[in-house]
Amino acid sequence: MTQRLGDARAREVLREHERIVREELKAHGGSEVKTMGDGFMASFGSATKALECAIAMQRAFEERNAGVGAALAPPKGAASGATTFRSCFDRLSTSG
């Protein structure tokens, strides 16, 4: 994407992607745990809330992409289960 759009435009697109994801996380009670590139790790109080958020994200990206040349894709993937937080040398690490 950076090669196709250039550094500045690629950063704008990434920031827009982040904005959409964060808005839907907030609207659906999700908590951002960490990000890496365009990937997000988030937690929810229930699998139902996570699924509702995923559906809302998909709709938000479809709405954003309507009539826009550079399409964004919603995050894909989900896991269910307990998450363990641990600290090592003042760095928060997660697994789950």
pLDDT in tens, 77-89: 777 776 665 655 5
Number of independent structural domains in the chain: 1
Give ∠ CA 50-74-91 in degrees, rounded to 5: 65
pLDDT in tens, 1-58: 778 878 888 888 889 889 999 999 999 999 999 888 888 889 998 989 999 999 999 9
Burial class of residue 65, CB neighbours in 10 A (0-12, 13-18, 19+): middle
What predicted TM-score, i.e. pTM, was given to this entire model? Answer: 0.75
Whole domain around residue 10: which residue ranges?
2-95
Query: Residue 53 has what pLDDT?
Result: 94
CATH of the domain at 80: 3.30.70.1230
H or E segment to which residue 43 belongs: strand 39-43
Query: Residue 69 has what pLDDT?
Result: 62
